[in-house]
C-alpha cells in the first residue's frame, strides 16, 4: 500500500512539473518555437492594420522596434474586437503574453487566442 501511495504521489508531482508553462523573456523565445509559453516584455512599438485577410489586426513589438524585435504579439480581429487597446498608448508598457511561439516570415510571434492571454500594465 505504501508503494502504491508513493507511486501515485510521484506521478502527480511529475505530471504537475511537466504541465507547467515556461515563463521567459523575449531574448529566449527562439528556443521555444512551437511550445506554449508565457513571455514578458516591454512594448517598443505597435501598429494596427485595417487591410488584409484577417484585418483588423494589431502587431505589438516587444523590447525592440521593428525590424529588430525579438517577438511580435499578434491580435487578430476575433480578439481585437473584444478590447479597446489603443496602439498609440502602448509604447513603454509591460506585457505578459501567453500562447504558442511560432515563426511568420522569419520572425518570432505569439498569436493571442483569447483576451485573457494578454496582460498589459504600466
What's the pTM value of the predicted model, to 2 decimals?
0.82
What ranges do the domains of the chain cover?
21-121
pLDDT of residue 31: 96
- Residue 22: per-residue pLDDT: 61
For residue range 18-57, list pLDDT tens digits in order.
445 668 999 999 999 999 999 999 999 999 999 999 999 9
Confidence class of residue 9 from pLDDT cuts 50, 70 and 90?
very low
| Residue 21 vs residue 117, higher pLDDT | 117
> How big is the chain by its Cα radius of gyration, in Å?
18
Computed from CA positions of residues 121, 95, 114, 52, in that sequence, does the dihedral angle turn out positive or negative? Answer: positive
Q: Are 62 and 72 in contact (CB under 8 A)?
A: yes
Architecture of domain 21-121: Beta Barrel (2.40)
Per-residue model confidence as pLDDT tens digits over 94-104: 999 999 999 99
Amino acid at each position: 500500500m505504501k508503494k502504491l501511495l508513493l507511486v501515485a504521489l510521484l506521478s502527480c508531482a511529475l505530471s504537475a512539473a511537466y504541465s507547467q508553462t515556461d515563463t521567459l523573456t523575449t531574448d529566449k523565445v527562439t528556443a521555444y518555437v512551437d511550445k506554449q509559453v508565457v513571455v514578458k516584455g516591454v512594448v517598443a512599438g505597435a501598429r494596427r492594420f485595417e487591410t488584409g485577410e484577417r484585418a483588423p489586426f494589431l502587431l505589438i513589438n516587444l523590447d525592440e522596434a521593428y525590424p529588430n524585435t525579438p517577438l511580435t504579439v499578434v491580435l487578430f480581429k476575433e480578439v481585437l474586437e473584444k478590447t479597446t487597446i489603443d496602439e498609440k498608448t502602448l509604447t513603454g508598457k509591460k506585457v505578459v503574453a501567453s500562447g504558442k511561439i511560432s515563426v511568420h516570415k522569419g520572425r518570432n510571434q505569439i498569436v493571442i487566442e483569447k483576451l485573457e492571454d494578454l496582460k498589459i500594465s504600466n
